[in-house]
Amino acid sequence: MDSQTRETDEEHLNYRRRARQTEPKRPLARNLLVAFLVGGAICALGQGVFNFLLTVGYTPKTAAAPLSIIMVFLGSIFTGVGVYDRLGKLAGMGSALPVTGFANSITSAAMEARREGFILGLGARLFTIAGPVIVFGATTAFLVGIVFWAAGTLHR
């Protein structure tokens, strides 16, 4: 290793050391607790909706689809009125992980793109977020289906 490379490496290490010293400390325990509580509250809301659906005649299997639709709808509504963004700043991943977080990301993209028109704005940008989720979800479902089919075939 020549002296110029060593000098560059030392400068890089010194820079990283100084950057770490000056960056604000994150309250990790508080962030984890808030993410857990907010994510848990969203899931508890989902469980409440699920229980309600059971009381009005749905079975556990048939309640899954309306539950998802209701939770995505709520996530979109709360994004539209600005509540979900504030919740995201407070809770971080606790608000992003449930299905309402997915609804938030799609609705946010749609709200940003609406100024560019219905087709080139909304139609094109809406699936920049949803597209990868749909592709990887469908691919994973296909692969899991093959595994289950192969496992069922092997046991016959």
- Please report, for the chain, the start and end positions of each structural domain, with discontinuous segments joined by +: 31-154
For residue 4, what pLDDT band results from cuts at 50, 70 and 90? low
Q: Calculate mean pLDDT across residues 16-23.
A: 84
For residue 50, what pLDDT band results from cuts at 50, 70 and 90? very high
Nearest to 92 by CA among 145, 149, 39: 39
* Unique residue bearing structure tokens 């940008």: 125
**Cβ atoms 65, 12 nearer than 8 A:** no
Q: Calculate mean pLDDT across residues 13-32.
A: 86
Q: Calculate mean pLDDT across residues 102-121.
A: 80
Alpha-carbon gap, residue 137 to 135, rounded angstroms:
5
- For the chain, give the mean pLDDT: 86
